[in-house]
Amino acid sequence: MGNHQSLFDVFVIPCSIPEPFVGIEASYHFDFPFWGWLIKKWGNIPIKRSSIKKALESIKQAEKLLNKGLSIAILPEGHRTITGKTGTFKKGGFHLAKNTKADILPLGISKGLYNFKNKHSWKLSPQKVRVTIGKPLTYNSYKDLSVDQLTKKVKGIIEDLAHTD
């Protein structure tokens, strides 16, 4: 799990994690020409955020993959930042982690990626980008926390790693 700085997060994160994984991604992205085809090929899971029932179906699909040993990348903000600061985290990924007893690997993407290509502009501005991988949170280290407590804990770790707030 990490913060969502830019459209280019999806290219930076795989360069930082040497293990195979898929992501959970907004369902409308799957309709984009070429991009939709590419993320389907990668095996990403579409999530329809406007429908709780459909979102839960996506979480169930992700649970099956996690239980088979495949890692899932989640950017819990659900949207790219519009300010460069970390936004509110959605709870679906934390329910997923608790339901599957999965470890959580926090990562922080520096504001350099936001400055490279932010949500308000198509202009690319070369920047140094840093992705910092934190220590894994084992299931045993968070199993007694509520989803709200876990969300707050992971958000704090990711903000520390990203130095965004």
Query: What is the pLDDT, as a whole number, of residue 25?
Result: 93
Strands 131-133 and 107-109: antiparallel
Q: Using CA atoms, how far apart are residues 65 and 67, in angstroms rounded to an integer? A: 5
Q: Where do the H-state alpha helices sit in 80-146?
A: 92-100, 111-116, 139-142
Q: Using CA atoms, how far apart are residues 16 and 18, in angstroms rounded to an integer? A: 6
Query: What is the pLDDT, as a whole number, of residue 87?
Result: 93
Beta-bridge partner residues of 47: 26
Give me the helix-helix angle, 92-100 and 147-162, nearest 10°.
Answer: 110
Query: What is the pLDDT, as a whole number, of residue 164?
Result: 55
The pair of structure tokens assigned to 76 is 């819990």
Q: pLDDT tens for residues 56-90? A: 999 999 999 999 999 999 999 998 888 889 999 99
Amino acid identity at 86: T
Concatenate the DSSP letters of all residues of 50-68 into one string: T-HHHHHHHHHHHHHHHHT
Per-residue pLDDT for the chain (165 aa), expressed as one digit of tens each? 999 998 888 889 988 998 899 999 999 999 999 999 999 999 999 999 888 899 999 999 999 999 999 999 999 999 888 888 999 999 999 999 999 999 999 999 987 888 888 788 888 888 888 999 999 999 999 999 999 999 999 999 999 999 854
Query: What is the pLDDT, as a whole number, of residue 145?
Result: 98
Beta-bridge partner residues of 94: none
Query: What is the pLDDT, as a whole number, of residue 114?
Result: 81
Cα distances (angstroms) measured from residue 40 to each of 11, 60, 164: 15, 18, 31
Beta-bridge partner residues of 109: 131
Residue 109 has phi, psi (to 5 degrees) of -105, 125
Q: Using CA atoms, how far apart are residues 78 and 70, in angstroms rounded to an integer? A: 21
Query: What is the pLDDT, as a whole number, of residue 10?
Result: 85
